[in-house]
Structure 1
Amino acid sequence: MKKKILTLLAIVLTLVGGITVVVLLGNDYRITEERLTIDLPGRSLDAVLARPRDSDPTGLVVMVHGDGPVEATHDGLYRPWFEAAADAGFATLSWTKPGNWLSQTMDDRAHEVEAAIDWARARPDIPTRALVLWGASQAGWVLPKVAAARNDLTGIVAVSPAINWLRQGRFNLLAELRESGATPEDQNRAVAASNQTRELLTSNADYATYRAHTPDPMDAARWTFVKLNYRSDATADLTAAATKHLPTLLMLATHDLNVDTTETATTYQRILGQSLTTKHFSAAHSMARPIMETSKFTGLTTATLWPRSLLAPGVLDTYRTTLTTLH
C-alpha cells in the first residue's frame, strides 16, 4: 500500500512539475520590462517600457487602450504584442489608464497620448527614430486625432476600431442579441430602450432623470463618460490625418460583435486610400480566437499556459512584419 501511495505521489509531482515547466515556458517572453512614471503637468502615469531582450530597439510603439480601466500590460495580455514588436526591433510604451478615465473625452485621451510621446522623445534612452501608434477598439477615436496633430509619426496600427459611437453601440446591441438567440420581440424592446437612452443623451439629461427612465441603468460615472463622448465620429479626424499619408495597418475580426467591420473597412479605405493595408482575421473583437471568448475554460487555460495562443492565427505575424517595414 505504501509503495502505491509513493508511486501515485511521484506521478502527481511529475504532472505538477510538467505543468509548471509549461507555464514558465509559455510566459517567457523575449522582452525585458521596465516600470516607469510618465511625468505630465499636474499628474503622472504608471507605465511599462518593453524592450527586446537581446538587442537594442530602434523604434517605439506607443499603445493606446480601448475601453475600460486597462493596466499597462492589460494584465499580461499585451505581452505577446510587446514581444512581436521587440522581434521587429521596437520597444513598446504602454501606461495604465488614469483613475479619472471616465471623465475623459476622446480629445483628452488624444492630448494624453501626445504628452506621453513628447515625454518619450525627450528621453535619450527611449528610441524614437521610428514612432508607431498602436490602438484598439475605442482608440479608433483617438489615433486619428493624434495622427492629424503630429508630424513625427511613422505609422499606425488600428485594431478593431469603430467609426461612429452611436452606430457602433447599435451594431453591438443587435449583434449580441442575435448571438444570444433573442426573439424579435426582445430585440424590439431592446432597440426601444436604446432609442430612449439616445433621446436622454440628446436632451442632456442628468443622471437622476436617466436613471428614473431606465430599467437597467449604467452607473453615474459611466453615464457622464457616455454623455461626453457619444457624438464621437472618426471620419473628420481620419480625413485630417489622411494628409500625412502615414502607412496604416487596419486589423479587423470576422467574428466581431462590437464593431461593424464593413463600415470601418469601407470608411478607412475611402479616406486613407493607398496609405492603408487592411487585414481580416478569424477572430473576435479582441483579436483572440473566437473560442477563447465563447469558452471561459479554454480562454483561462490558454491565458495561463500559453498566452500567445489566445490570439488568432496570423495576428502577431502580420503585426511583426508590418513593423519591420516601418524602420
Structure 2
Amino acid sequence: MPMKKNVKRFLLCLFLLLLAFFIWLPADNYTAHPIRFLSNQDTLSGVLNMPKGLPKDSLTLLIFVHGDGALTANAHGYYESIWRHLAAKGVATLAWDKKGVGASQGNWLSQDMEARAQEVRDALKYVRTSQKWRFSKIGVIGFSQGGWVLPLLNTHSKVQLSFMIIVSGAVNWRQQSNYLTTQRLKREGKNAHEIAKGLAQNKADHQFLLQKKNYEAYLAYERKKQATTGIPPRLMTRERYYFVQKNIRADATEGLKRLQCPVFALFGDKDLNVNFQESSSIYRNIFMKYHPQQCVVKTYTNATHSLLKHRHFQKIRPDATFMWKFWLWGEHAFVSGVLDDIRAFALHQKI
C-alpha cells in the first residue's frame, strides 16, 4: 500500500508541475507564417514571425542565421524567447531549418561559409520580392558560426542591409580550434606542458586537413596517431570531415572590413567555445579603423557562448535537462540587458 501511495503522490506532483509550467509559459505575441524559398536548387522551409496587433507595412525584420549543427528554424527553442522579446516592440523575425533538417532539402554538411551566405542572400530576395509583406528595415543576426557567414554577404555583390548583429563570432577557424582544445584540456585537468603538446598536435592536424586528402587517408592518419600515443582517436564522420576540410580556412577579418551597415557584436566573458577577448579585440580594432561611427562591441559579464547566465547554463553540449530548464526560465535565462540591447539595436541601431 505505501508504494502505491508514493506513486500516486509522484504522479500528482508531476501533473501539478506540468500544469504550472503550461500556465506560466508566456503566450506568443506573434503569428508564425510558414515560408519556403529556393536556394541553390534546394527548397528551404522556415517561419516568418509577425508581431500581433501592429501595422504590417512599417515593421523592422530581423533574419536569424544559425551557428554550427543540425538546427531547426527555432534552434530547438533557443530563439523563441528572443522572438517574443522582439515582437513586443514590433520587430518581425525570420529563420529556416538548415539544409537537410526538418522540412528543408539538401545537406548543411556539404556547405562552406560562402554557400551559407548565399542562403541569406536568397532569403533576403524572397522577403523583398514577396507581395505579402513590406518592411521599413531589414537586418540580420548571426550566432557563433554565423559570424563567418555574415561578413561574406558583400563578397560578390552589394547586399543592402539596415544593420547586422553578430553573437559570439569567432574570427579565425584554426585559432578557434586551438581555443576549444585548450579549454577541453583544462577541463580534463591537464598541465601547461600537456596543453602545449595538445596544441602542437592541433597544428599538425590542421596541416593535414589543409592538404584536402580523402576520408580514407584521414582514417589512416588517425590510426598512425593512435599507434604513437596510445590514445583512441576522436573520429569525425565522413560528412563532418569534408565539412571541416571545406571551412578550415574561414576567417572573418576581410569581410568585417567590407561591411557597409551598422554592426553590433556581442560576446560573453564565460564563453567556452570562442576566445571572447581575442575576438572582441579584433572586432574593435577593425571597427575603429574602418567603421568608427556605426559599430558597437559589447562583452556581457557572466555570459556563456549563447549569452545565457553562466551559473545555470554553462554546458558545451546541452542535454534534455538543460533544455527543460531553459524553457522554464524563458527570457530570464539570458544575462541581464542582452535582449533589450538586441532589440534596441534592431530598432534604432544603437544601445
Query: 2:45 aligns to what?
Result: 46
Contact residue 91 and residue 127 of structure 1 kept, 8 A: no
Contact residue 52 and residue 87 of structure 1 kept, 8 A: yes
Measured after TM superposition, the shift of residue 30 of structure 1 is 1.8
Once the two structures are superposed, what CA deviation does each residue of 1:208-233 show, in whole Å capped at 9, x if it has no partner?
Answer: 11111222221111111111111111
Contact residue 268 and residue 276 of structure 1 kept, 8 A: no
Query: 1:217 aligns to what?
Result: 235
- Is the alpha carbon distance of 1:54 and 1:11 closer, same or farther for their aligned partners in structure 2, counting shifts above 3 Å? farther
Query: 2:170 aligns to what?
Result: 162
Query: 1:71 aligns to what?
Result: 72
Contact residue 87 and residue 320 of structure 1 kept, 8 A: no
Q: Which amino acid aligns with 2:309?
A: R
The reply to whether residue 200 of structure 1 matches residue 203 of structure 2 is no
Residue identity over aligned pairs, in percent, reads 29
Once the two structures are superposed, what CA deviation does each residue of 1:203-258 show, in whole Å capped at 9, x if it has no partner?
Answer: 222211111122222111111111111111111111111xx2x2211110000111
> Pick from 300, 325, 332: which aligns with 1:302?
325
Q: Which stretch shows the higher mean deviation, 135-144 or 274-283?
A: 274-283
The reply to whether residue 266 of structure 1 matches residue 281 of structure 2 is yes
Secondary structure in 1 aligned to 2:153? Answer: helix
- Is the alpha carbon distance of 1:28 and 1:181 closer, same or farther for their aligned partners in structure 2, counting shifts above 3 Å? farther
TM-score for both structures, normalised by structure 2: 0.83
Query: 2:230 aligns to what?
Result: none
- Is the alpha carbon distance of 1:257 and 1:11 closer, same or farther for their aligned partners in structure 2, counting shifts above 3 Å? closer
Aligned counterparts of 1:144 and 1:40: Cα–Cα separation in 2: 19
Query: 1:292 aligns to what?
Result: 313
Q: Which amino acid aligns with 2:330?
A: P
The two structures, once aligned, show a CA RMSD in angstroms of 2.7
Structure 2 counterparts to residues 1-327 of structure 1, below 5 A: 13=12, 16-17=15-16, 19-40=18-39, 42-57=41-56, 58-99=59-100, 100-147=107-154, 149-214=157-222, 215-241=233-259, 244=260, 246-272=261-287, 273-281=292-300, 282-290=302-310, 291-294=312-315, 299-326=322-349
Q: Which runs of 5+ in 1 are unaligned?
A: none
How many residues matched? 322
Q: Which amino acid aligns with 1:137?
A: S
Aligned counterparts of 1:211 and 1:193: Cα–Cα separation in 2: 16
Aligned counterparts of 1:258 and 1:10: Cα–Cα separation in 2: 42
- Is the alpha carbon distance of 1:320 and 1:73 closer, same or farther for their aligned partners in structure 2, counting shifts above 3 Å? same
Contact residue 40 and residue 115 of structure 1 kept, 8 A: yes
- Is the alpha carbon distance of 1:28 and 1:286 closer, same or farther for their aligned partners in structure 2, counting shifts above 3 Å? same
Query: 2:103 aligns to what?
Result: none
Q: Which amino acid aligns with 1:141?
A: W
Query: 2:104 aligns to what?
Result: none
Secondary structure in 2 aligned to 1:274? Answer: coil
Q: Which amino acid aligns with 2:28?
A: Y
Once the two structures are superposed, what CA deviation does each residue of 1:170-193 show, in whole Å capped at 9, x if it has no partner?
Answer: 111102221332234542443243
- Is the alpha carbon distance of 1:76 and 1:27 closer, same or farther for their aligned partners in structure 2, counting shifts above 3 Å? farther
Q: Which amino acid aligns with 2:297?
A: T
Measured after TM superposition, the shift of residue 151 of structure 1 is 4.5
Secondary structure in 2 aligned to 1:75? Answer: helix
Q: Which stretch shows the higher mean deviation, 47-56 or 153-162?
A: 47-56
Aligned counterparts of 2:348 and 2:162: Cα–Cα separation in 1: 10
- Is the alpha carbon distance of 1:15 and 1:298 closer, same or farther for their aligned partners in structure 2, counting shifts above 3 Å? closer
TM-score for both structures, normalised by structure 1: 0.89
Secondary structure in 1 aligned to 2:145? Answer: helix
Q: Which amino acid aligns with 1:80?
A: S
Contact residue 160 and residue 261 of structure 1 kept, 8 A: yes
Contact residue 39 and residue 118 of structure 2 kept, 8 A: no
Aligned counterparts of 1:15 and 1:66: Cα–Cα separation in 2: 35
Q: Which stretch shows the higher mean deviation, 34-43 or 63-72?
A: 34-43
Aligned counterparts of 1:274 and 1:172: Cα–Cα separation in 2: 33
